[in-house]
């Protein structure tokens, strides 16, 4: 089928009291593997591109990535969503809309609340004309390596979340409840009580960023308390790198150019094994 609206997939997740998993990808191997396993397991999946990771395509034109995902989505029968991850650049977001992304994220989390609301609403108003969904972030999900201790001031506040969603009209909102991007120094502890309060105060799907390394038991609870989109990047990238490194180390003495063509199959196999386990978190 063709790409599905991300908002529709998140609604499906909400109705199933679960979350769809969104994987950051940088190339064909990563996107293909995620979509192939999603089809095998009959679970929707989202493919995301983080602007700073757009090395495989010209940063001034990300249409190539969008076209690749569209072509892969057309070959399967389950819903596939395409999403632009964190961006605070209005022009870049509009370029993504023009180049075929059906969902974009505006990250104004480090801005004053009024400015975050103003710019989020502006992007929603424009994107709506192109049937494109908009995710925003409220509170701030930082980086694990910088998280020496909890900074509750940066956590999402339920009453502010209600105001923000009403004022902006966003399709979904990423919340800060104790997760962080990157490799955790120790296992995080999600503020599930806060999450429940945010969920009760708002009526839009909630998004959890910094998904690599969060204990499974916490995720299972979070998925029943409003988290309908769960982002995974770091551990997926690390596995991709490790798989390539392992293959190259194993064959480095062979000097056979044909091994390049076998490397993708090897890496895809490793990715698929991981994805089959990860996607079990989605209870579709």
Q: What are the φ and ψ backbone dihedral angles of 264, each rounded to 5 degrees?
A: -60, -40
Of 281, 282, 269, which Cα lies nearest the Cα of 239? 269
- Among the listed residues 14, 29, 85, 191, the single catalytic one is 85
Cα–Cα separations (whole angstroms), residue 35 to 70, 118, 140: 11, 35, 30
Is 85 in the active site? Answer: yes
| E runs forming strands in 74-195 | 80-87, 103-106, 133-138, 172-175
Task: Extract the tokens encoding 2.
Answer: 């063709």
CA gap 157, 77 in Å, rounded = 39
Of 97, 99, 174, 103, which Cα lies nearest the Cα of 134? 103
For 130-157, b where at least 16 C-beta lie within 10 A, e where not — what string? Answer: eebbbbbbbbbbbebeebeeeeeeebbb
Four-residue CA torsion sign, 48, 52, 56, 60: positive
C-alpha angle 146/111/204, rounded to 5°? 95
- Residues with catalytic annotation? 85
């Amino acid at each position: 089928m063709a790409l599905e609206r991300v908002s529709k997939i998140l609604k499906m997740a909400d109705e199933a009291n679960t979350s769809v998993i969104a994987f950051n990808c940088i190339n064909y191997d990563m996107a293909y593997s995620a979509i192939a396993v999603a089809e095998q397991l009959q679970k929707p999946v989202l493919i995301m591109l983080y602007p700073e990771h757009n090395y495989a395509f010209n940063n001034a034109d990300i249409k190539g990535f969008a076209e690749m995902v569209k072509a892969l989505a057309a070959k399967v029968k389950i819903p596939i969503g395409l999403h632009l991850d964190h961006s605070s650049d209005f022009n870049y977001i509009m370029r993504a809309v023009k180049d075929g992304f059906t969902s974009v994220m505006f990250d104004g989390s480090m801005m004053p609340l009024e400015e975050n609301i103003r710019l989020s609403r502006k992007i929603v108003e424009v994107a709506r004309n192109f049937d494109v969904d908009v995710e925003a972030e409220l509170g701030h999900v930082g980086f694990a390596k910088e998280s020496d201790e909890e900074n509750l001031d940066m956590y999402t506040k339920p009453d502010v979340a209600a105001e923000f969603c009403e004022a902006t009209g966003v399709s979904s909102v990423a919340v800060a409840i104790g997760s962080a991007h990157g490799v955790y120094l120790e296992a995080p502890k999600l503020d599930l009580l806060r999450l429940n309060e945010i969920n009760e105060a708002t009526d839009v799907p909630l998004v959890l960023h910094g998904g690599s390394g969060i204990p499974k038991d916490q995720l299972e609870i979070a998925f029943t308390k409003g988290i309908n989109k769960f982002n995974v990047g770091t551990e997926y990238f690390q596995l991709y790198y490790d798989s390539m490194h392992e293959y190259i180390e194993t064959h480095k003495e062979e000097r056979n150019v044909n091994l390049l063509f076998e490397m993708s199959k090897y890496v895809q196999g490793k990715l698929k094994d991981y994805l089959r386990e990860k996607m079990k978190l989605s209870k579709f």
